[in-house]
Amino acid sequence: MIINMQLPTRQECFAFLEKYHTPQNVVKHSLAVNKVANYLAEQFNKAGVQVDKDLIDRASLLHDIVRLTTLGHHAEEGAKIFSQDYPEMAQVMVKHRLSAIIKDSLKTWEEKIVYYADKRVNHDTIVSLDERIAEGRKRWHVHKTEYHQENILKKMKELEIEIFTLIKQQPEIINGL
């Protein structure tokens, strides 16, 4: 954990979502991602793996702040907003991009948890990773010469196994949140 890390409060996060005109459907998605991420953070801490729950909470709330309102990739554009005042949060936010897992850029548990939580939420509904992958195949436009989509999906499944082995639960537990 980073000592003296600055983070916005939850109330400030909601004010940021309003300030940046984040559409309600994206806010609903972010709230569902936040629920999954916070559950996993709690389970990690119970398993003796200390993660920064506040960092996970805030990054998962704001990860899609400019999802539909930017010309660039929303992960990078959203992280830029917060990079000066909240650099640790921005670092976690930028890592929720689909291809981050294939670039081996998910280094911390906080990054992995927010990434995984995002991949378990289809719109505003918590679904299995398999369901999310099936739905994502229709919308994830990953250039095959740059990234191999099947390798991304394989890595996502490996991350799921890593997370749930550590917390000694089954992935289906998330479906009931």
Would residue 1 count as lying in a domain? Answer: no
Q: What is the C-alpha separation between 42 and 117, in angstroms, rounded?
A: 13
Would residue 4 count as lying in a domain? Answer: no
Would residue 97 count as lying in a domain? Answer: yes
What's the pLDDT tens digit per position in 111-156?
A: 999 999 999 999 899 999 888 877 776 665 554 443 456 777 889 9
The whole-number pLDDT of residue 145 equals 41
Q: Which domain holds residue 78?
A: 10-167
Would residue 42 count as lying in a domain? Answer: yes
Residue 71 has pLDDT above 70, yes or no: no
Q: Which two tokens stand for residue 1?
A: 């954990």
Q: What angle do CA 147, 36, 52 make, to 5 degrees?
A: 90
What's the pLDDT tens digit per position in 145-169?
A: 434 567 778 899 999 999 999 999 9
Q: Which two tokens stand for residue 63?
A: 């990860």
H or E stretch including 126?
strand 125-126
Cα atoms in the Cβ-side hemisphere of radius 13 Å centred on 65: 26
The whole-number pLDDT of residue 148 equals 57
pTM: predicted TM-score of the whole model, two decimal places: 0.89
Q: What is the C-alpha separation between 169 and 46, in angstroms, rounded?
A: 12
Would residue 83 count as lying in a domain? Answer: yes
What's the first-to-final CA gap in the chain, in angstroms? 27
The whole-number pLDDT of residue 132 equals 82
What CATH code is carried by the domain that includes residue 16? 1.10.3210
Tell me the Cα Rg of the chain: 15
CA-nearest of 141, 95, 114 to 57 is 114
Q: Average pLDDT, stretch 75-85?
A: 81
Task: Tabulate helix, strand, coil % of the chain (nearest 5).
Answer: 60, 0, 35
Among left, alpha and beta (phi > 0; psi -120 to 50; other), residue 67 is alpha
Would residue 100 count as lying in a domain? Answer: yes
Q: Which residue has the higher pLDDT, 86 or 130?
A: 86
Would residue 123 count as lying in a domain? Answer: yes
What total number of domains does the chain contain? 1
Would residue 93 count as lying in a domain? Answer: yes
